[in-house]
Amino acid sequence: MQMKTGVEQSVYAMLLLTFLPEKGVLPGEFISQQLGASPSYFQKLLRKLVSADLLISVPGAKGGFRLKASPETIRVFDIYEAIEGKQSLYASSGVFEDLMGIQNQNICLLSDLMTEAEQSWQSTLKRETIDSIRREIYLNCPPDHLTKLQSLIEEKMIRN
């Protein structure tokens, strides 16, 4: 399994938005530029996050994006699901049935194992929130870098 970069970009976009004061918004172009993302691709990600009720989109010349809920309630899994969808990562293709010459039995010895593995990593993503990741930033990043980021966000932010 390899996750698309859209999940990573979306998590970090949401993280950027945690630095906004209340009622502030950041333009999508600024966010995509900060993340090194293609603006057109990134707009699709932002639309998915808005559709999943994770972001608010403010239209117009003074528009942009902000978090819809508090960072403590936005789970990394919610972002993953908004971008990747709700489908299971594993679907039997009938290889075991072909191997054993069994027809129409829907037997897959890997299904239970794959379900358990998927539930395990989903549990980890459900445990972590945007706020828990933000706290890690303060523990692991040099304070002067955080100050520069905050200044840049305040410069690009639009107040509504």
The rounded average pLDDT for each run of 10 residues, N- to C-terminus, in the chain (160 residues) is 83 96 92 94 96 96 93 97 87 72 71 87 96 95 94 89
Q: Taking Cα atoms as reference points, which of 122, 127, 107 lies closest to residue 1?
A: 122
> Quick one: pLDDT at residue 106?
64
Please state, in angstroms and rounded to a whole number, the distance separating the CA atoms of residues 65 and 31.
9
Angle ∠(115,9,132) on CA atoms, nearest 5: 70
Domain residue spans of the chain? 5-159
Which residues have CB under 8 Å from 32's CB, separation 6+? Answer: 38, 39, 42, 43
Token pair in block for residue 137: 């930033």
Q: How far apart are CA 56 and CA 68, in angstroms?
A: 5
Q: What topology does CATH give the domain 5-159?
A: Arc Repressor Mutant, subunit A (1.10.10)
DSSP assignment letter at 61 = T
Copy the structure tokens of residue 99: 């191997």
Its pTM stands at 0.85
